[in-house]
Amino acid sequence: MWFVGLFGVVCLAYSGELAEGPDPVLMEEGYRVGAGDLLRIQVVGEEDLSKVYAIQTGGYLEMPFVGRVVVSGLGVDEVSKLLEGRYKGDWLVAPQITVDVSEYRAHKVLVAGEGVKKPAEYYLKGQTSALEILTRAGWVSTGTDSRDIELTRVDGTVQRWDLAVLASDPDKDVQLRNGDRLMVHEGNQVYVAGEVKEPGGIPYVDGLTALQALSQAGGTSDVGRLRGAYVLRGEERIPVNLKRVQRGRAADLVLEVGDQLYVPESAL
């Protein structure tokens, strides 16, 4: 019954009144093709028909002999069966047609924010989760991230998480949909400067110490002086002898959000 109804839509499209197909969304049973996707269509025994076709803006394929076929919102197996039905009879006796996606261009999400290395629009290839997209955008979990994630759906609803929580609890991950916007903001940080290998911001987590922050900054340069290190906290300057801390002769300093750890240059 469903196929009959869809066939009626296709006939209407071919008669010159192109009907809109189902909205291109990702559904539980798999990827649903949409406008912009490139489909590789192979017709057994018909080399002239076997090629890559683009789904047009109206959600249809422009096929030789049979004209426009609305496919937006269908899975590739459904497209295959639909095309077999269109070619059977007047054009082919028993058509055997296979369809797969050559390039995904229909469903995309925007990933942006200072918390990712490669902000851009990313195409969805079937069921795709927030963590999958974040990985493609250049983020890799270190177990200590405290970045804030903001997901805005097409309908305007907004969801927010802490990245560390999302990475540690797969049940909180979500499937993305066409048109979603994923913003990744830097969360709370401390800063490491001076004679260190990788100066800059370090994601803050509860209990982060000066020595741990130094380690995340790659350690000292060849001329860094651990004995002269200090932490700037507002107007306060707090000495922290990291050499003694390393040797277990002094307590490490627990940092606070916004602290700046500075390692000076050795006098020698």
Angle, helix 76-87 to helix 2-14, in steps of 10 degrees = 60
Q: 81, exposed or middle or buried, with CB in 10 Å at 0-12, 13-18, 19+?
A: middle
Helices (H), 145-235: 163-168, 210-216
Q: Give the strand order in the sheet containing 158-162.
A: 120-123, 108-112, 181-185, 148-152, 158-162
CB 93 within 8 A of CB 15: no
Question: In the chain, which stretches have pLDDT less than 50?
Answer: 1-29, 143-144
Burial 29-59 (b: 16+ CB within 10 A, else e): eebbbbbbbebebebeeeeebeeebebbeeb
What pLDDT, on a 0 to 100 scale, did the predictor assign at position 7? 28
Distance CA 200, CA 260 (A): 10
Written as one string, the DSSP assignment of 114-168 is TT-SS-EEEE--SS-BHHHHHHHTT----S----EEEEE-TTS-EEEEEHHHHHH
The pLDDT of residue 264 is: 93
Domains of the chain, each with CATH number or no CATH: 2-103 (3.30.1950.10), 108-185 (3.10.560.10), 189-263 (3.10.560.10)
Identify the DSSP state of 64.
T
- pLDDT given at position 4: 30
Name the pTM for this structure: 0.56
